[in-house]
């Protein structure tokens, strides 16, 4: 299923009749919580963009940070409705719409996780440059046009190269010279999004861009405890 998105490029969406592939699982979410506690211990507001089924994140963040506010955004109405039915603050809309994205500028940290596979099935994986919306377009909008102040975590395919990272960093710095790259986090897991056991594998990479964290370019690999 596709929807015409920013620049008339089709967004990839799961079919309503098929359970959406969950990129996150209990292991990868626990890694995020560990990093948030270390890097942003005073976080008060978290936004999840292209959030999909975000029930696990919502529960984990609230447990780790009892006073945190959380809100999601997704373009698929059936996904948004399912999140809202669980009591999660979740809006429906295009992440590349400036007026919609403006509502998330008060968040201390934004997780940006566009679909990384064809059909959102986790099988036919996309290269970094094939992901829609593109990381470059989103970075220009968020940092350049909307002047976001905070931390953006770009969730990227497990095939992302250092060249991809360097190009995104350079393009981000053109839009906003004060944006730093604090961390390159490689997230490993032994479970799928449906809790099926698998061999240890790299799920995805996270690029922690920020105006409040230093320009360290630390590379870290985290796996299940």
pLDDT of residue 20: 53
pLDDT of residue 23: 59
pLDDT digits (tens, 9 = 90+) for 77-126: 999 999 999 999 999 999 999 999 999 999 999 999 887 665 555 556 78
Pair of tokens at residue 166: 């360097």
User: At 35, which CATH number?
Assistant: 3.40.50.150
Tokens 């969406």 sit at which residue?
Answer: 13
Q: Do the bridges between strand 69-74 and strand 90-92 make them parallel or antiparallel, or are there none, so unpaired?
A: parallel
State yes or no: pLDDT of 2 exceeds 60.
no
Mean pLDDT along residues 134-163:
97
Q: Taking phi first (over 0 means left), then psi (-120 to 50 degrees means alpha), and beta for anything else, what does residue 86 get?
A: alpha
pLDDT of residue 138: 97
Task: Give the pLDDT band (50/70/90) at residue 192.
Answer: confident
Contact 27, 57 (CB under 8 A): no
Contacts of 163 (CB under 8 A, 6+ apart): none
Range of the domain at 127: 2-222
Pair of tokens at residue 64: 């780790």
Count the domains in the chain.
1
Q: Which residue has the higher pLDDT, 78 or 18?
A: 78
pLDDT of residue 34: 97
pLDDT of residue 71: 97
Average pLDDT taken over every residue of the chain: 89
State yes or no: pLDDT of 201 exceeds 80.
yes
pLDDT digits (tens, 9 = 90+) for 46-87: 999 999 899 999 999 999 999 999 999 999 999 999 999 999
Exposed/middle/buried for residue 173 (C-beta within 10 Å: 0-12, 13-18, 19+):
middle
Q: Which residue has the higher pLDDT, 118 or 174?
A: 174
pLDDT of residue 1: 44
Q: Could you give the CA distance from residue 39 to residue 16 in angstroms, rounded to a whole number?
A: 37
Tokens 């809790």 sit at which residue?
Answer: 195
Task: Give the pLDDT band (50/70/90) at residue 191.
Answer: confident
pLDDT of residue 196: 81
Q: Do the bridges between strand 180-191 and strand 197-210 make them parallel or antiparallel, or are there none, so unpaired?
A: antiparallel
Pair of tokens at residue 17: 């009749």
């Amino acid at each position: 299923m596709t929807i015409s998105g920013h620049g008339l490029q089709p967004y990839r969406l799961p079919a309503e009749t098929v359970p959406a592939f969950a990129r996150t699982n209990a292991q990868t979410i626990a890694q995020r919580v560990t990093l948030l506690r270390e890097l942003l211990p005073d976080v008060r507001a978290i936004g999840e963009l292209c959030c999909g089924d975000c029930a696990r994140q919502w529960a984990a963040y609230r447990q780790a940070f009892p006073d945190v506010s959380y809100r999601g955004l997704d373009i698929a109405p059936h996904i948004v409705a399912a999140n809202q039915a669980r009591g999660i603050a979740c809006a429906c809309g295009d992440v590349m719409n400036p007026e919609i994205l403006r509502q998330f500028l008060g968040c201390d940290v934004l997780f940006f996780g566009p679909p990384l596979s064809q059909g959102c099935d986790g099988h036919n994986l996309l290269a970094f440059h094939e992901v829609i919306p593109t990381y470059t377009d989103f970075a220009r909008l968020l940092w350049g046009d909307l002047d976001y102040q905070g931390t953006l975590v770009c969730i990227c395919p497990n095939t992302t190269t250092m060249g991809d990272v360097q190009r995104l960093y350079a393009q981000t710095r053109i839009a906003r010279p004060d944006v730093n790259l604090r961390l390159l986090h490689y997230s490993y897991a032994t479970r799928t999004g449906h809790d099926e056991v698998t061999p240890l594998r790299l799920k995805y990479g996270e690029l922690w861009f920020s105006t409040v964290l230093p320009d360290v370019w630390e590379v870290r690999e985290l796996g299940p405890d």
